[in-house]
Structure 1
Amino acid sequence: MRVQYVALGCRVFLGITFVIAAFGKLRSRSALAEFTDSLSAWGWAFLPVHGHRFVALAVGLVEVAVVVLLAFDVTARVGFMLALAVLLVFTTALGSALRGNRRIRCNCFGRSGADISAVHLVRNVILTVTAGLGVTAYVSEGASIAVESTLVTLAVAVIGAVVVTRLDDLAFLAGR
């Protein structure tokens, strides 16, 4: 398998995932307010209310930055590194909350009725591994790639992004 397809698939997969995550938080004042309110459940009581607003807005803007960086060949490697750093923080916070048996609503992609669970941890690990794979697979000056293989790579990446961003719904349908 050619590494260019892996890098392209990782870029599209993470790009779509981060677009959906940023849109879910930044699409309206009420969506941002809901995400801001959810931060107190994560044990950030040490922050004043305006600190929660700052963190919520910063998370959404960092997600936008990941998308923009992944969109261009010259910045894609930096985009992968930023995605990896952000996902490591998210996954660590999620694991800590699960260990502490906290009941927290998942607002990762906007409003959700699901509390965080091991399903979310698995999702984040998949995203983190994808970002790490993207960092290592990215080739800035690679050989040309075939159109047919590119289309298949794009289709798989889009399907993967839809699956991870709708994982709560799929777990519900599966009876979890």
Structure 2
Amino acid sequence: MMDDRNALFSQQTLARAIEFIWREAEMLDRRDYRAWLELWDASGFYVVPIDPQATDFAATLNYAYDDQHMRELRVQRMVSGYSASASDAARTVRTVSRFTLTSDAADVVEVKSAQVIVAYKRGVSTIFAADLTHKISFATGEPRLVEKVIRLIDSTEALSAIGFLL
């Protein structure tokens, strides 16, 4: 009986996490970056590592390693109209799938998934593919991002046009 309850808890937790991740992707596609900021726990980190094997993000070079302050600055640039990535931002469609619940501790769950983004700008479509890891806290009842790691499959190559939030 206990195993059935744990399995049900895991299924419900994964379903809530997936819904949250899809909602995040939809916000980003709509360029609702201020609402995206509200999804975050104040202590959370947004990470786009260069090294596909990196685990110590503070000690390695990353495309992005944003705490709350840096996320706010990034969003400010995106919505200000002054940066090239904001004034001529690509239109995007994100597809997130292949969800795996890798940890379901009492308050924080970790979900791994795959993401494909098609970005359209100036008549050109560009595809970005990545493995994602979301750490989501349910401690307050409302889900909050504690960490989002975006491992682009071509992260060690020269990349351009990744100014938008992945």
| TM-score, reference length from structure 1 | 0.31
| TM-score, reference length from structure 2 | 0.32
Greater helix percent: which structure? 1
Greater strand percent: which structure? 2
